[in-house]
Amino acid sequence: MLFDMKYIRSFFILLFILLTAAVSAQSDFPRDTSFTLNSAYQKDRKKFPDIRTVTEYKGDDIRTQKNILYKEIGDRKLLLDIYAPAKQDRKYPCVIMIHGGGWRSGDKDMMAGFASNLSLRGYVVLSVGYRLSLEAKYPAAVHDLEDAIVWARKHADQYQIDKRKIVTLGTSSGGQLASLLGTNTYSDRRKQVQATVNIDGILAFHHPESAEGEVAALWLGGKYEEVPKIWEQASALYQVSKRTAPVLFLNSSFPRFHAGREDMILKLKKYGTDTEVCTFDPSPHTFWFYEPWFTPMLEKIDHFLNRVL
């Protein structure tokens, strides 16, 4: 018995060492933790004292799996969380959910309330972690999210994903990324999506309506005067074509967060691409975290996706 306990003890010590090493490897890159669900709430409740933060749904009618590996870059592991309907009798549209944070902060965990409640309406939601600007400049985040889309199609049978119905959905800087991915400038069909939901994300970095400066420059690798082609390349407005997916724009009452939207709508209409706009006014920029805007927002998303997919 003592002999057995000795080896059991050694096993747990080794396991602890391996887990510690894994955590250390994941922490070995610069992080900006300034944007969190709590920091947003503390700011927004000053102007909107009656807001209620939406919490993660944990009922039996959805299946949740967190921190699933979808990509490795050397020792760096990129993870995603899956929220899926519990019933596995059919295929479901898949939503690639992209958090915001000015391309340098935020994380997938802050989207748990949004993702879980959206899944209840019949979607497989992948809340995706990706490299931010302190770790890697543009287009690293775009490549990570492209790989998440490919991963979703590769694992479609395992998670009851309908490969014909892939959606990018993002908030703030995540909305910018969602729209850029939705322009479908890919010859590789595995990376193409069928709809986009842009929640208060800009469509153009260099535009009369845009107020982007240092934060955008950090991610894009320089100011507009230094790298103008990259600023334009990263702007969904300038990538619109007949292949661009239908877009739902959901906006707060702050115009700077939808810079280029009206110009993009004109381009989409030129190609006959379906588009819809809903503005929640008044509302804070991060309205997607709170009631009374959350439920009406979900209804808009569900109605739009059921119509275009």
CATH code, domain carrying 148:
3.40.50.1820
- Residue 213: domain span: 76-306
What's the total number of domains in the chain?
A: 1
**Arithmetic mean of pLDDT over the chain:** 92
* CA dist., res. 155 & res. 139, Å (int): 24
Q: How far apart are the first and last CA of the chain?
A: 62
- Does residue 177 lie within any of the structural domains? yes
Neighbouring CB atoms inside 10 A of 94's CB total 28
pLDDT in tens, 212-250: 878 999 999 999 999 999 999 999 999 999 999 999 999
Non-local (6+) Cβ contacts of 26 within 8 A are: 76, 77
Q: What is the pLDDT of residue 21?
A: 40
- Pairing state between β 124-128 and 161-171: unpaired
- Does residue 276 register a pLDDT over 90? yes
100 falls within a domain: yes
Residue 236 in domain = yes
Could you give the CA distance from residue 294 to residue 115 in angstroms, rounded to a whole number? 12
Query: 81 versus 211: which is more confidently predicted?
Result: 81
Q: What is the pLDDT of residue 211?
A: 81
Token pair for 169: 């959905």
* pLDDT (tens digit per residue) in 240-259: 999 999 999 999 989 999 99
Residue 227 lies in a domain: yes
Residue 167 predicted with pLDDT over 70: yes
Q: 107-132, pLDDT tens digit by residue?
A: 999 999 999 999 999 999 999 999 99
Q: Is residue 246 part of a domain?
A: yes
- Residue 23 has a pLDDT of 40
* Residue at 101 is within a domain: yes
Q: Write out pLDDT tens, residues 257-270.
A: 999 999 999 999 99
40 within a domain of the structure (yes/no): no
| Structural domain contains residue 110 | yes
Q: Spell out a b/e string for 179-197, using b for 16 or more CB atoms within 10 Å of the CB, else e.
A: bbbbbbbeeeeebbbbbbb
pTM: 0.91
What digits encode the pLDDT tens for the residues 34-76? 999 999 999 999 999 999 999 999 999 999 999 999 999 999 9
